[in-house]
């Protein structure tokens, strides 16, 4: 008997026949409505081939491929699968998913894994794409310092590199503890971009990286890799501190950089680590993200990159705090909207973030409020940039922020309308884009 499995557009298994249960060694209760068909394949094959197979099925009406599949006990077998689009409500209606008909074959199947796939594998494990949330604010600060003639270019590169590895450390421990605490395993409603975005194609944007579940890496190796990332970031920190002392001939910046780095490490680790677990403490997780990707990041970057001694008082730090406020809110909104699909699993496992605490319907207004405050703060930045940045173009800045305000309204409207639907994923993607466009908008206005 052949295996027949029907899944929805996101790969969640909807139906499977007796042949599928026998072939893969699962019970219906373990899979239907819970797991995705990616559970049957090796991780590298999923990353490299699955979206291409689905594209072919959509364009040609079917895709026939030979591949390796994986049973529940971990054993592998060679198979041929016929993939066709599925229209449960009739072919005149929208596509509802895919049907896969699989038969085991005796012939040898070779699936060469490309170097690009291995690279994507590393990005998937570490969620490296999300490091833009920390890198771009630092680039904004470096451009600001450069325009005022106070930038150490070497320390700028070193600081960004150090924070990049520190961000990976936090991402990996986030996955490690969410898997260990059962949060990710309980999550069957997470969002994957799939083919909905060319830039983010196939990326996980909620529910963790799923790297451990897919078999990309083990729990033990995730922890080990996290510690390696922390060690590398510490090497960069030491070099930055040494250079800062040589440039300023003072320990003032060194002390401040070290203190801020220590705070960032503690917050990054205890964001998901028990007993603190900031991500599940009624808003403390959101506050942590706001600080770490907002004022803490921009102030720390300024001190590390500056050729001048920056004393720790509000007068000296005010400009960089102001730059950090809207950037922190935008990154918080990325986290916030990603909590909507994770609501049920977070609630079940005691991860009481704001969306769980307030509910999805009320949480929409927090998201909107963050956007409104971001735009208000952005217009407030115009005076700061006008007085400090020599080539600042006020007109360009005003036009860019006005366009971003309209874009923000569009995203908020999408959240309000789709907050309890799978179609919300489109607006999760747009929220990520928004933070990127915002940072580039500031930089463009410096040198328009």
Task: Decide if 243 is inside a domain.
Answer: yes
Residue 137, in any domain of the structure: yes
Q: Looking at residue 148, what is its pLDDT? A: 83
Q: Are 41 and 67 within 8 A, CB to CB? A: yes
Are 83 and 135 members of one domain? no
Q: What is the pLDDT, as a whole number, of residue 208?
A: 86
What domain range includes position 80? Answer: 3-104
* DSSP code at position 64: E
Token pair, residue 87, equals 């229209």
Q: Are residues 93 and 129 in the same domain?
A: no
> Which CATH number do you get for residue 174?
1.10.600
In this structure, what token pair is assigned to residue 196? 């909905």
Instruction: Give percent of the chain above pLDDT 70.
Output: 100
Q: Which candidate, 124, 325, 295, places its Cα nearest to that of 225? A: 124
Average pLDDT of span 56-74: 95
Task: Select from 72, 104, 136 the last residue of a domain.
Answer: 104
Q: Find all residues with CB under 8 Å of 8, minimum gap 6, and list them.
A: 14, 96, 97
140 plus 78 within the same structural domain? no
Spatial distance between the Cα atoms of 9 and 149, rounded to a whole number of angstroms: 52
Same domain for 134 and 176: yes
pLDDT tens profile 322-378: 999 999 999 999 999 999 999 999 999 889 999 999 999 999 999 999 999 999 999
Is residue 112, in this structure, part of any structural domain at all? no
Name the pTM for this structure: 0.92
CATH number of domain containing 10:
3.30.450.20
Let me know whether 321 and 183 are in one domain.
yes
Indicate the residue among 69, 104, 139 that finishes a domain.
Answer: 104
Query: pLDDT for 183-199, tens place per residue?
Result: 888 888 888 888 787 77
For residue 380, tell me if it sits in a domain: yes
In a domain, residue 182? The reply is yes
pLDDT at 115: 92
Q: Are residues 85 and 136 in the same domain?
A: no
pLDDT digits (tens, 9 = 90+) for 137-169: 999 999 999 988 899 999 999 999 999 999 999
Digit-coded pLDDT (tens) for 301-323: 999 999 998 877 777 789 999 99
* CA nearest neighbour of 181 among 276, 267, 268, 282: 276
How many domains are there within the chain? 2
- Regarding whether 185 and 84 lie in a shared domain, the answer is no
């Amino acid at each position: 008997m052949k295996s027949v499995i029907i899944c929805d557009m996101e790969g969640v298994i909807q139906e499977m026949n007796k042949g599928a249960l026998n072939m893969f060694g699962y019970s219906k209760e373990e899979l239907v409505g819970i797991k995705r068909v990616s559970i049957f394949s090796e991780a590298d094959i999923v990353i490299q081939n699955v979206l291409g197979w689905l594209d072919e099925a959509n364009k040609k009406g079917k895709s026939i491929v030979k591949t390796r599949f994986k049973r529940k006990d971990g054993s592998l077998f060679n198979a041929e699968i016929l993939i066709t689009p599925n229209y449960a409500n009739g072919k005149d209606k929208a596509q509802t998913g895919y049907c896969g008909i699989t038969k085991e074959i005796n012939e040898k199947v070779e699936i060469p894994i490309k170097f690009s796939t291995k690279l994507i594998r590393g990005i998937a494990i570490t969620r490296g794409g999300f490091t833009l949330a920390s890198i771009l604010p630092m680039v904004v600060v470096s451009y600001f310092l450069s325009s005022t003639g106070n930038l150490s270019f070497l320390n700028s590169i070193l600081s960004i590199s150090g924070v990049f590895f520190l961000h990976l450390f936090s991402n990996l421990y986030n996955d490690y503890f969410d898997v260990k605490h059962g949060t990710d395993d309980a999550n069957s409603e997470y969002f994957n971009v799939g083919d909905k975005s060319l830039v983010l194609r196939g990326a996980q944007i909620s529910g963790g990286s799923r790297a451990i579940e897919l078999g990309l890496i083990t729990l033990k190796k995730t922890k080990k890799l996290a510690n390696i990332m922390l060690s590398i970031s510490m090497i960069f920190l030491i070099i930055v501190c040494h250079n800062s002392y040589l440039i300023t001939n003072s320990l003032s910046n060194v002390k401040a950089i070290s203190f801020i780095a220590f705070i960032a490490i503690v917050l990054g680790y205890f964001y998901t680590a028990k007993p603190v677990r900031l991500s599940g403490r009624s808003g403390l997780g959101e506050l942590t993200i706001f600080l770490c990707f907002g004022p803490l990041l921009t102030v720390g970057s300024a001190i590390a990159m500056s050729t001048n001694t920056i004393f720790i008082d509000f007068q000296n730090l005010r400009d960089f705090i102001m730059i950090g406020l809207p950037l922190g809110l935008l990154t918080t909104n990325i986290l916030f909207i990603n909590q909507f699909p994770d609501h049920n699993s977070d609630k079940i496992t005691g991860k009481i973030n704001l969306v769980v605490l307030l509910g999805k319907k009320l949480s929409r207004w927090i998201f909107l409020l963050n956007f409104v405050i971001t735009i208000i703060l952005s217009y407030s930045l115009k005076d700061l940039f006008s007085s400090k940045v020599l080539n600042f173009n006020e007109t360009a800045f005003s036009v860019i922020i006005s366009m971003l305000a309209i874009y923000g309204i569009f995203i908020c409207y999408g959240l309000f309308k789709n907050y309890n639907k799978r179609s919300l994923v489109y607006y999760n993607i747009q929220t990520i884009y928004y933070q990127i466009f915002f940072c580039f908008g500031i930089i463009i206005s410096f040198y328009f």
